[in-house]
Amino acid sequence: MEHPLLMDYGPVPGWAILLVLAGVSGGFFVYQVVKASRLVLIGKPENRFDNWSARIAEVLTGWLGQKKVLKDRIAGGIHVLMFWGFLMLSTDMFDLATGNQFSQKVLPDAVRGPWNLIVETGYTIAFVGCVLALVRRVVFTPEKLKGKSQLEGNVILLLIMTITTTSFVVEAGESPDSTWEPIGYWVASTLVPSTTMVVAAYWAHMLAICVFLFLIPLSKHMHLVMAFPNVFFHDLRPMATMEPLARGENGKALPLDELDLESFGAVNYTDFTWRDLIDGWACTSCARCQDVCPAYASGKALNPMQIIHDVRHYANDHATTLLAGETPEEDIIARFGEDAIWACTTCHACVEACPIYIDHVPKLTDARRHLMMERMEFAQSVEDTVMPLMATIENLESDSNPYGLPAHERGEWAEGLDVKVAEPAEYIYFAGCAASFDERNKKVARDTISIMKEAGLDVGILGMQEGCSGDAARRAGNEYLFQMLAETNLSTFEEIGVKKIVASCPHCFHTLGKEYKDYGGEDIEVMHHSQLINHLQKEGKLPQPKHDGSVTYHDPCYLGRIGGELDAPRNAIGGVDVEAERHGRESFCCGAGGAQMWMEEHVDEGHDRVNIIRSKELAATGADTVAVGCPFCSTMVTDGLSAIGSEMEVKDIAELVWEQIKANDAKIQAAKTSAETTPETAEA
Could you read off the pLDDT of 268-316 as tens digits, one per residue? 999 999 999 999 999 999 999 999 999 999 999 999 999 999 999 999 9
> At the topology level of CATH, where does 256-386 sit?
Fumarate Reductase Iron-sulfur Protein; Chain B, domain 2 (1.10.1060)
Per-residue burial over 430-467, b = 16 or more CB atoms within 10 Å of its CB, e = otherwise: bbbbbbbbbeebbbbbbbbbbbbebbebebbbbbbbbb
pLDDT in tens, 484-540: 999 999 999 999 999 999 999 999 999 999 999 999 989 999 999 999 999 999 999
The mean predicted confidence, pLDDT, of the chain is 94
Is pLDDT at 684 greater than 50 in this prediction? Answer: no
Q: What is the mean predicted confidence (pLDDT) over 466-481?
A: 97
Q: Residue 664's pLDDT is what?
A: 82
Tell me the one-letter amino acid at 47. N
For 336-365, what is each residue's pLDDT tens digit? 999 999 999 999 999 999 999 999 999 999
pLDDT of 312: 97
What is the C-alpha to C-alpha distance for residues 621 and 377, in angstroms, rounded to an integer? 44
- CATH number for the region 4-232 comes to 1.20.950
Instruction: Please tell me the distance from the alpha carbon of residue 471 to that of residue 491, in angstroms, as a whole number.
Output: 18
pLDDT score recorded for residue 544: 87
Q: For the chain, what are the domain ranges?
A: 4-232, 256-386
- Decide if 93 contacts 122 (C-beta within 8 A): no
* Mean pLDDT of the 563-589 span: 97
> Is the model more confident about 143 or about 643?
643
Q: What is the pLDDT of residue 682?
A: 46
Sign of the torsion formed by the C-alpha atoms of 506, 509, 512 and 513: negative
Q: Who's near 123: CB < 8 A, 6+ residues apart?
A: 85, 89, 92, 163, 164, 167, 168, 183
Q: What is the CA radius of gyration of the chain?
A: 31
Indicate the pTM of the whole model: 0.92
Q: Judge whether residue 409 has pLDDT over 90.
A: yes
- φ/ψ bin of 618: left (φ > 0), alpha (ψ from -120 to 50), beta (otherwise): alpha
* Nearest CA among 598, 672, 582 for reference residue 635: 598
Q: Which residues pair with 526 in a beta bridge?
A: 501
Residues of the chain with pLDDT > 90, as a percent, come to 86
Check pLDDT > 70 for residue 679: no
Could you read off the pLDDT of 83-135 as tens digits, one per residue? 999 999 999 988 999 999 999 889 998 999 999 999 999 999 999 999 999 89
Find the range with the poorest average confidence among 27-31, 49-53, 70-74, 230-234.
70-74
Say which residue, 671 or 522, is predicted with more confidence: 522
Segment 646-651 shows an average pLDDT of: 96
